[in-house]
Amino acid sequence: MRGLAGIAACGTSLASRPARSHPPAPYVPRFFTPIEWAFLTAACDRLIPADENGPGACALDVPRFIDMQMDTPYAFGAQWYMQAPFVQGPDNLGYQLPHAPRDLYRRGIAGMNAHAATRHGRPFADLAPALQDDLLRGAENNRLVFGDIPSSVFFDQLLANVMEGAFSDPVHGGNTGLGGWTMLGFPGARADFMDWVDRYGAHYPLGSVSISGETA
């Protein structure tokens, strides 16, 4: 189920990947269940679709990045102040739920799939892209409710991690082939412009480089 759903969701981006002589073994998620993984890969590819401007989130291995992040202290809420009581207040006073990112994903994905099933009789991953976009927009605009989690809270968590996965150093599992940086025009770890700072109007000629020395 996992493999099928994942491939279905990521089909377009897999096709646009450069050919490799030895295709790598598919990534096996450690945190997300097969059903959750199917949601995640499908949603990521809608948030950053492959198009004429560059690769999509699946080609950049954004789902892998998010799964790997779920094993870090951040995902357990270790960097957030998580002392009770949890009192809800106006939005501008910030996040006040007792849920760490791992909980937000568990509950949020279940909620998204429940809405997909109620409206369309199928899980999110099996819907047509236009229907997936409608559900994502519903979550973004806080029109869905997942128990005590406003859907926009889940959506913002997902979107933030998707952006991180596409544009962080590949050491964290995303931005495969430096595709995110190349699309944006960000040179990554070059980090030396002594000779370029005052070449006004000149095009910077060097491609991106990662912390590990990978170039694009």
Pick 78 or 117: Cβ nearer another protein: 78
- Residue 178 gets the label, from left (phi > 0), alpha (psi -120 to 50) or beta, of left
Pick the binder of another protein from 15, 24, 198, 205 (CB under 8 A): 198
Q: What type of residue sits at position 104? A: L
Among 83, 118, 130, 205, binds another protein (CB under 8 A): 83
Using the minimum distance from each CB to another protein, give the nearer residue, 6 or 187: 187
Lookup result for tokens 């699946």 = 58
CA angle centred on 5, ends 163 and 10, rounded to 5°: 40
Lay out the site mask for another protein across 29-48 (x = CB under 8 A, - = otherwise): -----------------xxx
Cα gap 29→185, rounded to integer Å: 30
Near another protein by CB under 8 A: residue from 51, 122, 143, 147: 51
Regarding 96 and contact with another protein (CB under 8 A), the answer is yes
Task: Pick one of 33, 145, 185, 206: the residue that binds another protein (CB under 8 A).
Answer: 185
The owner of tokens 């099933």 is 117
Q: Which two tokens stand for residue 101?
A: 């990112």
* Contact flag: residue 117 with another protein (CB under 8 A): no
Is residue 215 a contact residue for another protein (CB under 8 A)? no
Q: Which of 13, 41, 113, 168 binds another protein (CB under 8 A)?
A: 168
Tell me the C-alpha distance between 100 and 82, whole Å. Answer: 9
Q: Which of 4, 193, 206, 215 binds another protein (CB under 8 A)?
A: 193
Among residues 101, 105, 93, the alpha carbon closest in space to that of 74 is found at: 101
Nearer to another protein, 85 or 121 (CB): 85
Residue 60 in contact with residue 14, Cβ under 8 Å?
A: no
Q: How far is the CB of 45 from another protein (least distance, A)?
A: 11
Q: Please give the backbone phi and psi of residue 188, each rounded to the nearest 5 degrees, phi first.
A: 70, -125
Name the phi and psi angles at 74, rounded to 5. -50, -45
Q: Does 81 bind another protein (CB under 8 A)?
A: yes
Token pair listed for 104:
């937000």
Q: Is 130 in the site for another protein (CB under 8 A)?
A: no
Asked whether 185 and 177 are in contact (CB, 8 A), the reply is: no
Binding site for another protein (CB under 8 A): 46-49, 51, 53-54, 72, 74, 77-83, 85, 87, 89-96, 133, 136, 140, 159-160, 162-164, 166-169, 171-172, 180-181, 183-189, 191-194, 196-198, 200-201, 203-204, 211
